[in-house]
Amino acid sequence: MFVMFTARMHGILRYSNKDAVLILLSIVYAALLLSVPSAALIAIGLWWIANTSAHNFIHTPFFQSRALNRAYSFYLSALMGFPQELWRERHLRHHRGDERPIVFTAKAGVESLVVAVVWLTLAINAPGFFATVYIPGYLAGLGLCFLQGHFEHAGGATSHYGRLYNRLFFNDGYHVEHHRRPGVHRMK
């Protein structure tokens, strides 16, 4: 069954069939959010998605098709609660050491609209959930992302070679190596 699935994915995915795992896990996270939402799930999921699926997608877009890459970018924006294009620009500027302000593009505008629609839908249809579960979970997730970024760069880029961490975060621990060659696919 898996062989048939990966064989079908070969014509769709640009770099590796292993990217299908990141795509599938982002879908599983969305399903969990819809079925058993909690502040803890939102926080941990946002942190994990931002540092795995979204991060890998920034450096090595998953799909052959531009349209599929654009659709997945919109999906990540809705899922994470912030525009993937702004995350991408901020992250790539970090790699270049570029301190200039991020330019707000049309794509960032559309993704911001996607995020606004998700947030407004939640705020209107489930205001208590939005205020007491989603927002605290979202802020905690951003805090976890901040802490991870801080410790990856405390005193310069730092790698973590623990097997469990690198399995769970799809080789995100190889941070020094990633800074040396940011465009190399991390899951080959």
Q: What is the pLDDT of residues 151-187, one digit of tens each?
A: 776 776 666 677 876 677 766 666 556 555 665 555 5
- In three-state secondary structure terms, 13 is strand
pTM: 0.85
Dihedral angle sign, alpha carbons of residues 61, 63, 67, 70: negative
Nearest to 17 by CA among 79, 55, 50, 64: 64
C-alpha 105: how far from chain center: 19
Low-confidence ranges of the chain (pLDDT < 50): 1-2, 4, 7-8
Q: Residue type at 55?
A: H
